[in-house]
Homo-oligomer: A and B are copies of this chain.
């Protein structure tokens, strides 16, 4: 595996950097609202930042596992490209949600589509490969 899949690795780390930045957004919201841990509620700004961060966490296992399995069992560069779409969708989702929870849908749909193509693409390729016994 050494030195293979570097584009997949790069996209994974960029997604995690974006996710880390969403955690900083929670910390900033705490500062603005004056709400200390362990409280997670009490102000719409904090609650939105927490949901953006947490919803991204909720999707990370789906995204990361599907990204790598798509890259390994099918196509590295297509996987990396879909991974970039996922990251962009997540950034649009964050900007929309922080402005107004009703504006979270566009970005959410973009990242969901990218995630679904990765997941069902990897699943389809693996099932086909197991069914036909081929590679």
**A-to-B contact residues, CB < 8 Å:** 1-3, 6-7, 9-10, 12-13, 16-17, 19-20, 23, 36-40, 44, 47-48, 50-51, 53-54, 57-58, 60-62, 64-66, 69, 72-73, 101, 104, 119, 122-123, 126-127, 129-130, 135
Q: 15 extra interchain contacts, Cβ-Cβ under 8 A, other than A6-B129, A13-B123, A40-B51?
A: A1-B72, A2-B72, A6-B130, A9-B73, A10-B126, A13-B66, A13-B119, A16-B62, A16-B65, A16-B66, A16-B119, A20-B62, A37-B104, A38-B51, A64-B65
A60 / chain B contacts, CB cutoff of 8 Å = 61
- The docked-state distance in angstroms from the alpha carbon of A73 to that of B128 is 26
